[in-house]
Structure 1
Amino acid sequence: MKSEQCHAIILSTLNYGESDRIVSLFTLEHGRLRGFAKSARASRKRFGGQLEPTNRLEVTLSLKEDGLSRIERIEQSSCYPELREQLESLALALYACELVEALTPEGHPLPRLFRLLSTLFDHLAAQTGSAADRRFFEINVLNILGYRPVLDTALLQPLSDCMKTGSFGKIRFSDTELEAAGRLLDRQISSHCTHPLKSRAFLDNLN
């Protein structure tokens, strides 16, 4: 296995054995990868509690083409403490992580999607997440992955506008437009996911 420093966002984690952790990483360089963090739960000194969903890291990986790469060390991290202070923002961030994990293939670089997810977290750290932020993220994810739906009514015009700007909070939705966008995007996302997203139900209750 070769070692490489990567920019990564943690999508999810799974405890393994008595002290280890399996981490789902979305990297700028290689797309989605699975990493093995040995003794991550036994010693906070090695990883410092930084292996948590939504954290953005510069991490050294021993890459393996098929199977688990090994997480050797973390060089730098952004943990977004402000994001975690607002329930709406944290719920949207965790949903975004689960959505990216569900829709992306393993080992396929998607730099536009990495930047979109990073931009969302920066936005949510600065202000409370909204239903419009959710729909902005979803339509851009679908567009990047080639799953863009047909937007053939005036009520869906804000979704078209969302794909013309890279900035959250710029596009305004009326209540009726937001409802129409939600129906379309929920249906489109469900058709491409192999299982229901656990974070979606919680986010729906908040919105």
Structure 2
Amino acid sequence: MPTYRDEGVVLRTHLLGEADRIVTLLTREHGKVRAVARGVRRTSSRFGARLEPFMVADLQLAVGRSLDVVTQAVTLGAYAPVIVADYRAYTAATAMVETADRLTDEDASRQQYLLLVGALRSLARTEHDPSLTLDAYLLRALSVAGWAPSFGDCAVTGEPGPHRAFVPHLGGMVSEDAAPPGAMRIDEGTLLLLASLLTGDWATAEGAPQGVRARASGAVSAYVQWHLERGLRSLEHVDRGVS
């Protein structure tokens, strides 16, 4: 049975039989992979804890007929224990891996893998507020997938901004002439935060007040839900830290 090595982040797992799991991975070189991890639910398993959601591992896999088989796993990023211990980080990470699962397939780009690993690492290290990290990840993941939002020029006509109407199905900010009735309106501060999250301007993003962050999160959620067609179940459970 031929084998191969790759790095992978665990997106989700399913029980299989009494001791096995099916593990869905986003890998660096092979896109999304579904593989069987045999015996990982036994207390004697050598790498069961290394194949939990949010973990990143160096993997050896054997090619199977329908599912590959994990034969070795060495931890590269032990992010799961830290993330699971923080509810806000956990809900954000859950939305991230669901998004990655929905956006990728076996031909997924390396950029999607690196983006997800970087976001999980940031959560585990508490580098930024979990809500900001999630929104930045969602905007960038959609951009890599070909749905980059426009926060400057009109997404329909190309007319220079700034504009105030935000229309997810038209690609972002649009001019008044292109905006349909009832379009979401975005104030200057929220627009600045959205652009900062997309470009990685963390100094500006972290200076945004809570109200602006909440409005930006609403716009990001609307954009994600439209382009993924079916809503993200995990997104409605994200703890945004708003009392």
User: Quick check: 1:123–1:168 contact (8 Å CA) kept in 2?
Assistant: no
3-state DSSP class of the match of 1:74?
Answer: strand
3-state DSSP class of the match of 2:50?
Answer: coil
Structure 1 or 2, whichever has the larger Rg, is: 2
User: Quick check: 2:91–2:239 contact (8 Å CA) kept in 1?
Assistant: no
Identify unmatched segments of 5+ residues in structure 1. Answer: none
User: Quick check: 2:50–2:74 contact (8 Å CA) kept in 1?
Assistant: no
Assess, with a 3 A threshold, how the Cα gap between structure 1 residues 24 and 39 changes in structure 2: closer, same or farther: same
Assess, with a 3 A threshold, how the Cα gap between structure 1 residues 149 and 116 changes in structure 2: closer, same or farther: same
Question: 1:27 and 1:123 mapped to 2: Cα distance?
Answer: 19
Assess, with a 3 A threshold, how the Cα gap between structure 1 residues 169 and 78 changes in structure 2: closer, same or farther: farther
Corresponding residue for residue 136 of structure 2: 136
Worse-superposed segment, 4-13 or 113-122: 113-122
3-state DSSP class of the match of 1:5?
Answer: strand
Query: What code does the residue aligned with 1:138 have?
Result: L
Q: Taking every aligned residue pair, what percent have the same amino acid on both sides? A: 22
Identify which of 171, 175, 179 aligns with 2:205: 171
Aligned positions of 1:13-24 closer than 5 A: 13-24=13-24
Aligned positions of 1:76-91 closer than 5 A: 76-80=75-79, 81-91=81-91
How far does residue 129 in structure 1 lie from its aligned partner after superposition? 4.0
The answer to whether structure 1 residue 187 and structure 2 residue 222 are counterparts is: yes
Corresponding residue for residue 107 of structure 1: 106
Q: Cα deviations across residues 143-188 of structure 1 (Å, max 9, x unaligned)?
A: 11111223244432322233333x7676233344323322322122
Of structures 1 and 2, the one with the larger relative CO (CA 8 A, separation 6+) is 1
How far does residue 123 in structure 1 lie from its aligned partner after superposition? 1.4
Query: What code does the residue aligned with 1:123 have?
Result: S
Corresponding residue for residue 174 of structure 2: none
Worse-superposed segment, 50-59 or 84-93: 84-93
User: Quick check: 1:83–1:126 contact (8 Å CA) kept in 2?
Assistant: no
Question: 1:38 and 1:30 mapped to 2: Cα distance?
Answer: 21
Identify unmatched segments of 5+ residues in structure 2. Answer: 152-162, 165-187
User: Quick check: 1:32–1:109 contact (8 Å CA) kept in 2?
Assistant: yes
Question: 1:204 and 1:150 mapped to 2: Cα distance?
Answer: 27
Question: 2:237 and 2:49 mapped to 1: Cα distance?
Answer: 25
Q: Cα deviations across residues 95-128 of structure 1 (Å, max 9, x unaligned)?
A: 2111111122x21132222122111122112227
User: Quick check: 1:13–1:22 contact (8 Å CA) kept in 2?
Assistant: yes
Query: What code does the residue aligned with 2:60 have?
Result: T
The answer to whether structure 1 residue 93 and structure 2 residue 127 are counterparts is: no
User: Quick check: 2:6–2:58 contact (8 Å CA) kept in 1?
Assistant: yes
Q: Cα deviations across residues 78-100 of structure 1 (Å, max 9, x unaligned)?
A: 22233232111122112211111
TM-score (norm: length of structure 2): 0.73
Corresponding residue for residue 121 of structure 2: 122
Assess, with a 3 A threshold, how the Cα gap between structure 1 residues 22 and 134 changes in structure 2: closer, same or farther: same
Question: 2:23 and 2:87 mapped to 1: Cα distance?
Answer: 23
Residue correspondences, number: 204
Aligned positions of 1:17-36 closer than 5 A: 17-36=17-36
Worse-superposed segment, 188-197 or 4-13: 188-197
3-state DSSP class of the match of 2:95?
Answer: helix
Query: What code does the residue aligned with 2:205 have?
Result: I
Question: 2:236 and 2:203 mapped to 1: Cα distance?
Answer: 23
